[in-house]
Amino acid sequence: MGCSSTSCSVAVALLLLALGASGQLQVGFYSKSCPSAESTVASIVRAASASDSTILPALLRLQFHDCFVRGCDASVLIKGGNNSAEVDNAKHQGLRGLDVIDSAKAQLETQCPGVVSCADIVILAARDAVAFTGGPSFDVPTGRLDGKVSNLRDADVLPDVHDSAQVLRSKFAAGGLDDKDLVLLSAAHTVGTTACFFMQDRLYNFPLAGGGRGSDPSIPVDFLAELKSRCAPGDFNTRVPLDRGSERVFDTSILRNIRNGFGVIASDAALYDDASTVDVVDSYSGLLGTIFGPYFRQDFADSMVKMGSIGVITGSNGEVRKLCSKFN
């Protein structure tokens, strides 16, 4: 896949920024300045999930939405008064878990005032959410600072449910993430649900080759009937599992579903429409891949850490907010 000199330069600059900043992060950054930081975040996440298990995939999504816009700087947590903040962009529709981050921040401020950044809390909460859904436990480097900018239009760069595999690959590459990262991070859909809102076009308003609109012809007939029975025309709010038959277990079922034509949202299904991502999906979901192939859990953890290094702020370029929802 080619790119213009400008887009290539932007991608390289973002990658260098990510790599350069990540070199200043370290595992256990708060071991002396706030020894209970990581355990406090884990405790808050566990408590939140005890009353609402759906908050775990929401916290995982929150890291994605923060890091893909301006880098992992907690810009998505800022609340503006005139719908001008990043979180107000429609690309963030349905975003949840901000209250969990606020709760963790409030508790940490009583323990270690002005020490733990909101950006790090987002990363730690997502890491804990993965583990609490049965996924891998892994270390994440910390030491990020919070950003001082949050603009509505900045979130336009977020991947979209309607994006083709080529567009998805381009957007991930802009953050220094490759095709393998794209597949692995999309596999986070092994847990959680999506609203019928994100499926309406694919089920009822898909542009057809012969003209007109209808259902996406790539959806197997029986599966199409199943999806339509769950999401009637105009139904935007009903929730549907992203990983058919295994939405509560962190596993490779989502990739097998994508391979077999049972990807629920268009952007997941698109991963099996591109030669570059097909090979990655097959490497984790095929029979030989399951036995001899790459280790999915470790590779997923590695991609999470890699995403968490995009555009982080360290040194004198950021701040540690007192409240995650507003600049100091």
User: Catalytic residue numbers?
Assistant: 65
At residue 313, φ and ψ (nearest 5 deg) are: -105, 130
Cα–Cα dist 250/147, whole Å: 32
Contact at 8 Å (CB) between 142 and 25? Answer: yes
38 annotated binding-site participant: no
Cα–Cα dist 86/151, whole Å: 5
Q: CA end-to-end span of the chain, whole Å?
A: 42
Burial of 116 (0-12, 13-18, 19+ CB in 10 A): buried
146 annotated binding-site participant: no
**Residue 217's CB: how many other CB atoms inside 10 A?**
10
190 annotated binding-site participant: yes
Cα–Cα dist 187/280, whole Å: 11
217 annotated binding-site participant: no
69 annotated binding-site participant: yes
**Residue 218's CB: how many other CB atoms inside 10 A?**
15
Cα–Cα dist 303/309, whole Å: 10
92 annotated binding-site participant: no
* Strand spans (E) along the chain: 193-195, 206-207, 213-214, 239-241
66 annotated binding-site participant: yes
Cα–Cα dist 328/321, whole Å: 6
Of the candidates 286, 314, 269, the residue with the CA atom closest to the CA atom of residue 141: 314
159 annotated binding-site participant: yes
251 annotated binding-site participant: yes
Coil, strand or helix at 270: helix
> Per DSSP, what are the bridge partners of residue 319?
146
Annotated binding site for Ca(2+): 66, 69, 71, 73, 75, 86, 190, 243, 251
List, as residue ranges, the binding site.
Answer: 66, 69, 71, 73, 75, 86, 159, 189-190, 243, 251
Q: Which positions make up the binding site for substrate?
A: 159
